[in-house]
Amino acid sequence: DSVFNHLVRAPEDPILGVTVAYNKDPSPVKLNLGVGAYRTEEGKPLVLNVVRRVEQQLINDVSRNKEYIPIVGLADFNKLSAKLIFGADSPAIQDNRVTTVQCLSGTGSLRVGGEFLAKHYHQRTIYLPTPTWGNHPKVFNLAGLSVKTYRYYAPATRGLDFQGLLEDLGSAPSGSIVLLHACAHNPTGVDPTLEQWEQIRQLIRSKALLPFFDSAYQGFASGSLDADAQPVRLFVADGGELLVAQSYAKNLGLYGERVGALSIVCKSADVASRVESQLKLVIRPMYSSPPIHGASIVAAILKDRNLFNDWTIELKAMADRIISMRQELFDALCSRGTPGDWSHIIKQIGMFTFTGLNAEQVSFMTKEFHIYMTSDGRISMAGLSSKTVPLLADAIHAAVT
């Protein structure tokens, strides 16, 4: 008899489980809009040309080896990642007030940041927006923080509940940690305007809340790396402290390489270096040191002006394709006379559209049209193509009429 006999079967991850169900469907017209990964117009995963070229160079360079890299990762990668999110002329970087450690993509960066705060920060409560990426509460709970929520999305307008957000953060205990999606909020695609960000910043600073930015989509929202970093830079500019988790999964298509970074902006260089020394104590017993390959690719691209330019062009093309899918889907619903206001499809930002379809309508679309998405009605625009838009529009039309 197994010592694990008492185990019950755990449910599939609500997001990854969509793909499991999709894979089991034998229909030739099936469509997976659940996965948060970019697909080409042909529905294929994409490896960026700039990544292929750099990988070739890395393979041909016989001076490279596979030794362990430091606990905090590659120095070049860390320095250049901070520059990418904070800007080349960031005062925090110039003052050496930033510590950056290479982590296992966005998730690992959030987890290391969470464990560091649980261990060393006086307020162990983190506020998450409702809704948020499904993994956030689990990551921060297991890191040792207690999770609370603040209002974010207004179903009635399919936009931002700005008043609710200000009220909830306004009544959070002083010092609380606040998780903010830097851009392209997942799952809603709803972002504050820059004016609203400025009001959020003033509230957060006046209440001495600690901002923790999750930047999983820099460059993917608007097509511009700088534009998508504006909210983070607004907070850095006031001289206050904050954390940022960066991921290169989406903007460089390095999903499976697990490459990302955690940066902590501090008040002084001395504090930053003590913070880094403690981050090492979080990381060492967790996974010892991060993987070398993905970070080497990123560092090579960030270091070289030509490679960097080539990247921005490919990144913009991905963002533009997603934006054009929004327009095509919106137009297709208009031309079918589908009841309801669908303008949120073109207003929302980033990889996802929060359609407003309910769980029942989603399961109808899966059963009748073989279209797969999360039960909250979130669809990945990156999984759509001009060829599949009519099918999705037919399915939505049938689901709401």
Residues noted as catalytic: 133, 214, 250
Considering the rule CB under 6 A, would residue 73 count as an interface residue with ligand PLP?
no
Strand ranges for 202-344 from DSSP E: 210-215, 242-247, 259-265
Q: For residue 7, what is the DSSP state?
A: P
Considering the rule CB under 6 A, would residue 260 count as an interface residue with ligand PLP?
yes
Considering the rule CB under 6 A, would residue 133 count as an interface residue with ligand PLP?
yes
Scanning 62-70, 230-238, 247-255, 288-296 for contacts with ligand PLP by CB under 6 A, the matching segment is 247-255
* Residues 28-47 contacting ligand PLP, CB under 6 A: 36
Binds ligand PLP (CB under 6 A): choice among 249, 297, 319, 384: 249
Pairing of strands 259-265, 98-104: antiparallel
One-character DSSP codes across 34-84: ---S---TTS-----HHHHHHHHHHHH-TT---PPPPTT--HHHHHHHHHH
Judged by CB, which is closer to ligand PLP: 255, or 372?
Answer: 255
Judged by CB, which is closer to ligand PLP: 107, or 388?
Answer: 107
User: From the CB of 381, what's the least distance to ligand PLP, in Å?
Assistant: 14
Of 171, 170, 126, residue with least CA distance to 149: 126
Measured distance CA(21)–CA(109) in Å, rounded: 29
Report the SS3 class of residue 352. Answer: strand
Considering the rule CB under 6 A, would residue 106 count as an interface residue with ligand PLP?
yes
Note whether 185 and 343 are within 8 A (CB). Answer: no
User: From the CB of 214, what's the least distance to ligand PLP, in Å?
Assistant: 5
Binds ligand PLP (CB under 6 A): choice among 32, 99, 107, 176: 107
User: From the CB of 354, what's the least distance to ligand PLP, in Å?
Assistant: 13
Exposed, middle or buried by CB within 10 Å (0-12, 13-18, 19+), for 121? middle
User: From the CB of 126, what's the least distance to ligand PLP, in Å?
Assistant: 14
Question: Where do contacts with ligand PLP occur on this chain (CB under 6 A)?
Answer: 36, 105-107, 133, 181, 186, 214, 216, 247, 249, 255, 260
